[in-house]
Amino acid sequence: MKQYTGILLTLSAVLYPIPFYFPHSFFWVSFLYLVPLLYAASHYQLSWQQGYAWGFIALNCQEAGIFWGIFNMAEGAFVARLLPILFLMLYCPIFAALWFFITQKFINLWRQSNKPVCRIVIWVVTAWFYQIWMNYCQLWPFGACEGNLFLNPLITFTEYPPLLVLLPFLGVPGLTAYLFACSGMITSAIIKNSWRAWALAAVAFVPWVLGFLQNEKPILPAWVTKIGVVQQQLYSMPDKPSALLLQECCAALQQQCPAITTVICPESALYDTDIDLKLQAYASACSVAPAQLLFGGFCDIPDDEKQRNTAYFVDADQSVRRFFKRHTMPLTEQMPPWFDVARIRELFFARRPQIARSCNLRPLWVIAGQPLVLYICSELFFNHACDDQHSHVPIIALCNDLWAPAPVRRLMYQGARLRAQEWQRDIVYVSYYYAMFIAKNGFICPLQTISGK
């Protein structure tokens, strides 16, 4: 039977990414992908080499879209652009190897762990620690102690929000532990093959089933109907400044839906130089078309080679407010200190400046008559908890998903739905491919849009 260990581990690794790519049809695989691994671990010793192989298959298949997006954002020769991707592909599985190594060492030291059920319990606990590390800490060499939320299998349940009914109470760490415990119970039932073990596993799934049977729909707030979204990046042309292009888009959107009073554009919507010097033009455009205008752009830092990723809010009185993004992504927005060498830096910042992280307070802006707290893209996904002082106020998230292939764009959108349920806050999610009102119970309503894609 030992020769089947490799087959079981490969099966587990292949099953892991499937629900991330096909969440609507295969979300249930997230309950099962650990079962072959746990079954193999309950009978045989697993090595760190097997852990690395498992992580290499599972993680690289799941993150292939992210790696592809990073590769396309780099510039230069094919091999040079490929080097950071190869590093990431080899780096991420290291933690899976450490997971296998530490767990097996603990089992070998603890004599009571010879029983299959004891081994399953140990592997479930250490799998949870491994998952939490990947979600919250794995990117620490890149300059910040943070991880990748998009690796958590809970994100695959957002297509069916009632499955996450326990999320507000347990949080992502707690519900992840419950999910892995269910996988452990299934494995124990397969090994014991007794009605008691299967009954215990069935009882463990009752909260998931009860949640799945709910059919609660959101009530669309009246203020949401006043919001329209322009899903385009606007560049100034010699005969037509970006302000005029934006004005034309706003007019077209209002003609499509006269009730709109507020127009929102995603992160980085205006790629224009010296936006701050042209704010009056944007304010004038705002006064002609909608009552309010919110868009993402860039603000140059005086006497520095960096920019700030900025959200501009032009109100009905033509006053202009700004918010500078507080979080930056390693490699694509800011070069981590350990990797800040000329050859790597030129891959991403040869023709554009790096983005500087800011420390300004997160704003509370009245948009479409409703107070909203602003988050810019990665601030929503890489904050472990809300970092504003308005815990019951809805969030508006401006995101840029033009860089990402379709599976990653969907992951970002699903991440916003997961945050809405975890933080129990309504979210207005605005990107170039998704424009949605996400209720705090996870259900969605589309916004009025005009698109240039």
pLDDT band at 373 (very low <50, low <70, confident <90, very high): very high
Q: What does pLDDT average to over the chain? A: 88
Instruction: Among 3-7, 227-231, 299-303, name the one with the lowest average pLDDT.
Output: 299-303
Res. 244: pLDDT tops 80 = no
pLDDT band at 233 (very low <50, low <70, confident <90, very high): confident
pLDDT band at 234 (very low <50, low <70, confident <90, very high): confident
Q: What's domain 222-451's architecture?
A: 4-Layer Sandwich (3.60)
Which residue do the tokens 């080899």 mark?
Answer: 90
- Does the pTM of the predicted model rise above 0.75? yes
Res. 80: pLDDT tops 80 = yes
Residue 139 is which amino acid? L
d(CA 61, CA 166) in angstroms, rounded, equals: 29
What percent of the chain has a predicted confidence (pLDDT) above 90? 58
Q: What pLDDT score was predicted for residue 64?
A: 96
pLDDT tens digits for range 87-135: 999 999 999 999 999 999 998 887 666 788 889 999 999 999 999 999 9
Which token pair is 276? 């701050």
Cross-strand partners of 310: 297, 324
Q: What pLDDT score was predicted for residue 274?
A: 63
Q: What pLDDT score was predicted for residue 285?
A: 52
Res. 1: pLDDT tops 90 = no
Res. 237: pLDDT tops 80 = no
Q: What pLDDT score was predicted for residue 350?
A: 83
pLDDT tens digits for range 23-66: 999 999 999 999 999 999 998 899 999 999 999 999 999 999 99
pLDDT tens digits for range 400-422: 999 999 999 999 999 999 999 99
pLDDT tens digits for range 270-317: 876 666 656 665 555 555 556 788 999 888 777 677 888 999 998 877
